[in-house]
């Protein structure tokens, strides 16, 4: 049998159910892949083969007696260290272990574990998820495997999640998305990412950054894999397999809105050309294109650039739950959290009202289109050595989430899938944005687009740092 880790998760699940593949063998292959790199990619803050092997053994034992705990039974999975996972300490990217109440499984992790997925470990992240570059002053930053010569950003805040997929130590990765933190690392590492509608999945058991915007999310090696995990875990879908059967085989008749120039005009290194070529290929396969401005994104981004709500909501959480952690906050984040003290209740509420009005208006932009297409990230992942000082850090952070944060701030959902490489050989993502609550339609359209455009491995090949 060819390397099973290269197969789609749906095929792997069938092989496991039929007894033609063992969960333990799958886990050992994932362990070997991580150890082949000697941990140099820094995907994990807690690498746990001693935990993964018994997980896989339990999945095999259940299979052996005909017990099917769920579609993700035996699937190697990594989990961002923002999620509570019983049996693991939670640090949330900080230098100190959080109290025990932050180690109790929430609904998402509990559902994953009930299905007997194999947990490979907890992945590195930006401290308290506050930042998109992947930078962490306490532990260092994972390596983007698409550049073997320079240490480039893997995206954040779920910085280790995409890297774990690239190195083959996980087939599925869990992150959180408050302003970009699933789609950004997915796009920068050549993976697929899914940001679902706010409150569709519970955030209980996830250390909060912003109770207004936090959303659990999925990173996977393909949109097909992300869709498989979505239907396996989504509490709103009755018959998961019925949903999968309804995914269209092509894009004929799908209405794709072309986002206005605000999403395109600052793209560098040929990113815009790569994304436009992908959209034109979809049009050639029958998709219907329509110019669709989304001016509300400008207002949402303005609120984000003014400080949004994440700063004050994180500061309020730390003051209430973890006041001792403020003394050790990453120096690039400390000024922003200090400044949050000066935000008045009136200004905070004004920002909320501005976003409420913008979100209501943005929802109408989807009356004539199914999704709106944009480049996921307009900028090539930067070399981390170029990052110095809080001011430069936050200027870069605002740039890289430019096309992403408005999705959260306008209560929309979105997916990203890789569509090529830029002029520096780094992955380029296509973002498909849908109206909030249209998650099933979004996932179906993204899968249909992937069938036309090709899987990430077909389009991109293997990251240079992961080549034998």
Q: Which CATH number goes with the domain that contains 15?
A: 3.90.1300.10
**Residue 2 domain-assigned (yes or no):** no
Whether 329 and 337 have beta carbons less than 8 Å apart is answered as yes
80 tagged catalytic: yes
Q: Which residues of the chain have pLDDT under 50?
A: none
For residue 157, whether the previous peptide bond is cis, meaning omega lies within 30 degrees of 0, is yes
Active-site pick, 157, 158, 222, 310 = 157
* Residue 222 backbone dihedrals phi, psi, to 5 degrees: -155, 160
Per-residue confidence (pLDDT) for residue 393, from 0 to 100: 82
The total number of structural domains in the chain stands at 1
pLDDT at 2: 63
pLDDT at 394: 82
Find, among 410, 459, 407, the residue nearest to 431 by Cα: 407
pLDDT at 211: 97
pTM of the model: 0.97
Of 22, 45, 80, 164, the catalytic one is 80
User: Residue 3 falls within a domain, yes or no?
Assistant: no
- Rounded to whole angstroms, how far apart are CA atoms 456 and 87? 34
Beta bridge partners of 122: 46, 79
437 located within any domain = yes
Catalytic residue status for 240: no
In Å, what is the CA distance from 458 to each residue of 40, 343, 418?
A: 25, 48, 10
Kind plus residue range of the DSSP H or E element containing 252: none
The residue count of the chain comes to 468
In a domain, 1, yes or no: no
Asked about 392 being catalytic, the answer comes back as: no
pLDDT of residue 4: 82
Is 4 among the domain residues? no
- Supply the pLDDT for residue 457: 85
Nearest to 366 by CA among 277, 445, 208, 256: 256
Helices H / strands E in the chain, number of each: 17, 11
187 within domain boundaries: yes
Domain hosting 294: range is: 9-466
Q: What is the pLDDT of residue 395?
A: 86
The answer as to whether 146 is a domain residue is: yes
Pick the catalytic residue: 45, 78, 158, 181?
181
Q: Does residue 411 belong to any structural domain of this protein?
A: yes
Cβ atoms 358, 298 nearer than 8 A: no
Label the pairing between strands 288-291 and 255-258.
parallel
Q: Which residue has the tokens 């997925």?
A: 117
């Amino acid at each position: 049998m060819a390397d099973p880790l290269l197969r789609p998760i749906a095929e792997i699940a069938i092989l496991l159910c039929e007894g033609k593949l063992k969960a333990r063998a799958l886990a050992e292959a994932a362990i070997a892949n991580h150890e082949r790199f000697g941990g140099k990619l820094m995907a994990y803050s807690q690498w746990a083969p001693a935990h993964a092997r018994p997980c896989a053994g339990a999945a095999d034992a259940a299979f052996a007696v005909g017990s099917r705990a769920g579609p993700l039974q035996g699937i190697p999975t990594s989990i961002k260290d923002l999620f509570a996972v019983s049996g693991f300490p939670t640090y949330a990217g900080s230098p100190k272990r959080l109290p025990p109440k932050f180690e109790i499984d929430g609904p998402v992790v509990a559902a994953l574990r009930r299905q007997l997925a194999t947990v490979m470990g907890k992945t590195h992240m930006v401290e308290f998820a506050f930042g998109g570059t992947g930078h962490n002053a306490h532990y260092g930053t994972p390596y983007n495997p698409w550049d073997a010569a320079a240490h480039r950003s893997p995206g954040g805040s779920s910085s280790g999640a995409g890297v774990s997929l690239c190195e083959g130590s996980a087939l599925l990765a869990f992150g959180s998305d408050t302003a970009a933190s699933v789609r950004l690392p997915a796009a920068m590492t050549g993976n697929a990412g899914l940001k679902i509608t706010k409150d569709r999945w519970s955030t209980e058991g996830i250390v909060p950054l912003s109770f207004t915007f936090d959303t659990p999310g999925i990173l996977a090696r393909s949109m097909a894999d992300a869709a498989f995990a979505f239907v396996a875990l989504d509490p709103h879908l009755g018959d998961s397999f019925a949903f999968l059967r309804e995914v269209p085989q092509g894009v004929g008749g799908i209405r794709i809105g072309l986002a206005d120039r605000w999403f395109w005009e600052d793209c560098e290194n040929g990113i815009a050309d790569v994304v436009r070529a992908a959209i034109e290929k979809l049009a050639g396969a029958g998709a219907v294109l329509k110019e669709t401005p989304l001016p509300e994104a400008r207002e949402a981004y303005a609120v984000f650039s003014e400080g949004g709500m994440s700063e004050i909501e994180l500061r309020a959480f730390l003051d209430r739950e973890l006041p001792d952690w403020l003394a050790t906050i990453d120096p690039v984040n400390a000024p922003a959290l200090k400044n949050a003290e000066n935000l008045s209740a009136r200004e905070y509420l004004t920002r909320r009202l501005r976003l409420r009005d913008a979100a209501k208006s943005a929802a109408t932009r989807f009356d004539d289109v199914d999704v709106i297409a944009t480049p996921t990230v307009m900028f090539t992942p930067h070399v981390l050595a170029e990052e110095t000082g809080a001011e430069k850090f936050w200027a870069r952070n605002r740039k890289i989430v430019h096309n992403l944060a408005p999705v959260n701030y306008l209560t929309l959902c979105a997916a990203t899938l890789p569509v090529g490489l830029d002029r520096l050989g780094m992955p380029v993502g296509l973002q498909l944005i849908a109206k909030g609550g249209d998650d099933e339609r979004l996932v179906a359209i993204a899968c249909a687009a992937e069938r036309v455009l090709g899987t990430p491995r077909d389009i991109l090949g293997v990251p240079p740092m992961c080549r034998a």
